[in-house]
Structure 1
Amino acid sequence: MTDVSFHDYSTLSADGKAALLRRSETDLSSFVEKVHPILEAVRTEGDAALARFGRDLDKADVTEKTLKVTDAEFDAAFKLVDASVIESIQFGIDNIRHFHEEQKPEAMWLKEIRPGAFAGDRFTPIKSVALYVPRGKGSFPSVTMMTSIPAVVAGVPELAIVTPPAPDGSVDAATLVAARLAGVETVYKVGGAQAVAAVAYGTETVKPALKIVGPGSPWVVAAKRALSGIIDTGLPAGPSEVMILADDTVHGGLAALDLLIEAEHGPDSSAYLVTHSRRVAEEALAALPDHWAEMSDLRVGFSKTVLTGKNGGIVLTSSIEESYAFVNAYAPEHLELLSTEPFLHLGHITEAAEILMGTHTPVSIANFSLGPNAVLPTSRWARTFGPLSVTDFVKRSSIGYVTAPAYPEFARHSHTLALYEGFSSHALAVSPLRDKYLKKDA
């Protein structure tokens, strides 16, 4: 069989261990250089550039007049998608909406910090957000669900999906079904770096947005970085990655089965099985050919590229503690704790965007229907970012209110610190001069 990358972790040098942490998008310098002409063309030419790139880069039949999905295309999508698929989309939407409604922060909270002095937060929706739904290596109505629903729950008034068109100029029908059922009716047929530029600058057809969220290729990630001063680019979500942490209570064939879930996304994905059990590692290696025999040629090709390359394979550690250390150093997007006793391991994991527990919670279920958001930070950004959530679609304002009885004490301490820091106007605003004005207004 094709040689799967196998790493004996305890024997690796420091450089060898560091190499395992690299992702396909770690160095985006070549992409950043190439996206600049695309971004500038969209900024200066608008729809004309979007249509041209749609034809040249996406090989799609699009024109300036067909960049936006029509109501008729939405209606037709429901006739093109099998009823069972629509049912599964609705099942996922119901669970995802329920999860995010529970997650939504209260509109405002205000607490008495000291007698007569109140402070708190108020949350209001971001006015406009663009949702990026990739299509380069497949169709992803699930990404539409994961990006749209928390935005709708948050109450964002202006939502639009940008997604690459198919060769015939259409948008994936299930994506349109998911969009409408989730509550988004604006979809643009534009993808890649040009989509990021379109929602950052705006064109004749595409309305500019304040923020863009959603996973994408290195081209999309590079465009987001280049335009981060123009548009809020949200959490860094690039090519898919998974880590399966398996202990010696499971069969390696099950670990191999789940290892392939994210590996099949594309050749730029990352996928590792980490285990301290040589039996599990060997069983996984033995099972992979049988699993590949059940998959499509396209997905076999993608997953073999990943598992035989520099961004995937099997990592054999010397102990469960060493497995924990590798997981935390890697900070994966998706992590499965594959064990009959997963809660024994949970407390040892501090760096992972998503943690799926036990033998009945494969990434597949989390990606489509469990409820928590499957748009997750990649490339070790799980160390500082969490999953996409309702809070990504709202902004927080601090609220403060000091009553007249509480004012003197706060004024005294603020005056002292203002003088220490050398801010005379700060001090003046809480000096006896203020008392004079307050007496005049009384």
Structure 2
Amino acid sequence: MSEISFHDLSRLDSSQRAGLLKRAEADLSVFREKVRPIIDAVKEEGDVALVRFAREFDKAKVSKDNLKVSPAEFEAAFASVDQDVIESIEFGISNIRKFHEEQRPETMWLKEVRPGVYAGDRYTPISSVALYVPRGKGAFPSVTMMTSVPAVIAGVPQIAIVTPPTPDGSVDAATLVAARIAGVETVYKCGGAQAVAAVAYGTETVKPAVKIVGPGSPFVVAAKSLLSSVIDTGLPAGPSEAIIFADESVDGALAALDVLIEAEHGPDSSAYIVTHSRKVAEAALAAIPGYWSKMTEQRVEFSRAVLTGKRGGIVLTRSLEESYRFINDYAPEHLEILSREPLAHLGHITEAAEILMGPHTPVTIANFVLGPNAVLPTSRWARTYGPLSVHDFVKRSSVGYVTSTAYPELAMHARRLARYEGFSSHENAVSELRQPYLDAHRSDPA
């Protein structure tokens, strides 16, 4: 059995330390070459290509006639999912909805920035969006919940889910339940790079969208990068990653329990325990095998690949300050702060998409029912992106209004700057050439 990776920062040189920051999709060149012909086929062949790829990649019995989930399939899903699971989906969606309703911006605001000069913003929903819900390493109704709710709250008129079909040609039942409860009725049976291409270009069945959001494999990430000039690909969300930061006040076995949460997503995940306490590190090392004995075989295989590989394990630092620096350099998707006083650490950490504080807030709760969005930027994009939100489904327009009394002062300053930059039409538009039109406007009846 491979040993869990133990990274003592005091013994690593700069290149070895930098290696700990790399993610599975750090180099997408290989994936881009693999998905390029898939994208081309979908663009040229439409539904025919989607059916072929569903059978080839997903081993799914899909035809052109059933690429879109029917009302009867929704009804069958509700009949097949246990009532307690439906209850938990409803509970999670309730919290997610409450959180995201608070994010919804004012439709418009205007402020008087100078006497007679008004400026502000107006928010309107984007016209269409595709929500990518992965399925390759499991079923993810939680992703449906997290992507659908803010899109519905934002008022996007055309919302569709794309998700890989199961071998029998259906869609995961709980995913359909979550979609309907959240308010989404359009679901297409396609995943991977072909799904990204389908919503970018449109097919006979799949309507094109102006944006796609949702996490996916490196193949999905590569397809998004190739199609970024065709469709807005949203925040970069690839394979799962987490840092469990533990100080000397907690049991390392608790950190071990939680590092397995994201590590079990797949062998392309990244997961570290970061601590300056050797006692905590050793307790975590000792505890992990015991937790593996309580997991399913597939999830043990996935998490073992992560924790014994180059993108996981335990990072031992020399001090709290070094732990903070490593976390900020890593910029994790998920960060847990395990401490008796988590707030004491919070101010030192600026680069993390999600920060969960204390032993009662494991990533599991945030992934399903806490309320904040669990679709998060990966691959260090937390340095510039935040979690998926209502704001990802609206666009902002600047609004301005200048009164006749305020116009002369603004025109004078704008004219000077236009002349300096050499834009004669800019200058002319606020010169005496405009005055006759303004005089006529003033004399028009109200």
TM-score by length of 1: 0.99
Partner SS state of residue 123, structure 1:
strand
Q: Cα offset for 1:11?
A: 1.9
Partner of 1:2: 2
1:425 corresponds to: 425
Letter of the aligned partner of 1:433 in structure 2?
L
Partner residue in 1 for 2:318: 318
> What is the aligned partner in structure 2 of residue 209 from structure 1?
209
Corresponding residue of 2:82: 82
Cα displacement (A) at 1:440: 2.7
Which letter maps to 1:78? F
After TM superposition, the structure 1 = structure 2 runs for residues 171-250 of structure 1, keeping only pairs within 5 Å, are 171-250=171-250
**Is 2:44 aligned against 1:48?**
no
Give 2:45's aligned amino acid: E
Q: Which residue of 2 aligns with 1:373?
A: 373
Q: Which amino acid aligns with 1:353?
A: A
2:293 match: 293
1:113-152 equivalent positions in 2, closer than 5 A: 113-152=113-152
Q: Which residue of 1 aligns with 2:392?
A: 392
**Matches of 1:2 and 1:277, distance apart in 2:** 23
Equivalent residue, structure 2, for 1:358: 358
1:73 alignment partner in structure 2: 73
Q: Does 1:37 align with 2:13?
A: no
Matches within 5 A, 1:314-353: 314-353=314-353
**For each residue in 1:319-366, what CA deviation from the matched residue of structure 2 results, as whole angstroms up to 9, or x when unmatched?**
000000000000000000111100000000010000001111000000
Task: Name the structure 1 match of 2:416.
Answer: 416
1:274 positional shift: 0.4
Deviation per CA, 1:75-131: give whole Å up to 9, x if none.
010110000000000000000000000011111110000000000000000000000
Q: 2:27 corresponds to which residue?
A: 27
1:79 maps to a residue whose letter is A
Deviations 1:275-317 (A, max 9, x none): 0000000000000011111100000000000000011000000
- Unaligned runs of 5+ residues in structure 2 are none
Q: For the aligned residues, what is the CA RMSD?
A: 0.6
Whole-Å separation in 2 of the counterparts to 1:216 and 1:439: 59
CA distance in 2, matches of 1:332, 1:9: 18
Paired residue secondary structure (1:121): strand
Tell me how far 1:374 sits from its aligned partner. Answer: 0.1
Aligned equivalent of 1:265: 265
- Give the structure 2 partner of residue 153 of structure 1: 153
Q: Which amino acid aligns with 1:7?
A: H
> Distance between the aligned counterparts of 1:20 and 1:210, measured in 2?
36
Residue 2 of structure 1: CA displacement?
3.4
SS state at 1:387 partner? coil
Give the distance between the partners of 1:344 and 1:32, measured in 2 at CA.
43
* More moved, 5-14 vs 260-269: 5-14
User: Any unmatched runs of 5+ in structure 1?
Assistant: none
Residue 271 of structure 1 aligns to a residue whose secondary structure is strand
Partner of 1:107: 107
Which whole-Å deviations, capped at 9, do the CAs of 1:194-250 have from their partners, x for residues lacking one? 000000000000000000000000010000000000000000000000001100010
Distance 2:168 2:367 in 1: 28
Q: Which amino acid aligns with 1:384?
A: T
CA distance in structure 1 between the partners assigned to 2:434 and 2:356 by the alignment: 57
Aligned residues: 442
Q: What is the alpha-carbon distance in structure 2 between the residues aligned to residue 116 and residue 301 of structure 1?
A: 67
Name the SS for the 2:292 alignment partner: helix
- Which secondary structure state, in structure 2, belongs to the residue aligned with residue 351 of structure 1? coil
Deviations along 1:21-64, one digit per CA (max 9) or x if unpaired, are 00010001001011110000000000000000000111111111
TM-superposed deviation, 1:394: 0.2
Aligned counterparts of 2:187 and 2:75: Cα–Cα separation in 1:
13
CA distance in 1, matches of 2:238, 2:211: 17
Map Cα deviations across residues 105-159 of structure 1 (whole Å, 9 max, x no partner).
1111100000000000000000000000000000000000000000000000000
Amino acid at match of 1:226: L
Distance in structure 1 (CA, Å) of the matches to 2:429 and 2:56: 61
Letter aligned with residue 373 of structure 1: N
Question: 1:7-26: CA deviations, max 9, x gaps?
Answer: 00122100011000000100
Match of 2:216, SS? Answer: coil
The 1-side partners of 2:420 and 2:74 are apart by 63
- Between the aligned partners of 2:142 and 2:57, the Cα distance in structure 1 is 24
- The equivalent of 1:439 in structure 2 is 439
Determine helix, strand or coil for the equivalent of 1:198: helix
Structure 2 distance, partners of 1:305, 1:215, is 21
**1:365-407: CA deviations, max 9, x gaps?**
0000000000000000000000000000000000000000110
Amino acid at match of 1:52: R
Q: Does 1:403 align with 2:403?
A: yes
Q: Distance in 2 between matches of 1:438 and 1:133?
A: 55
Letter in 1 for 2:294: E
Letter in 1 for 2:25: E
Distance 2:435 2:214 in 1: 52
CA distance in 1, matches of 2:335, 2:264: 16
Q: Under a length normalisation based on structure 2, what TM-score does the superposition of the two structures give?
A: 0.99
Q: Identity over aligned residues, as a percent? A: 74
In 2, Cα distance between the equivalents of 1:27 and 1:59?
28
Alignment partners' CA distance in 1, 2:195 and 2:204: 13
CA deviation vs aligned residue, 1:153-172 (integer Å, no higher than 9, x gap): 00000000000000001100
In structure 1, distance between residues paired with 2:70 and 2:437: 60
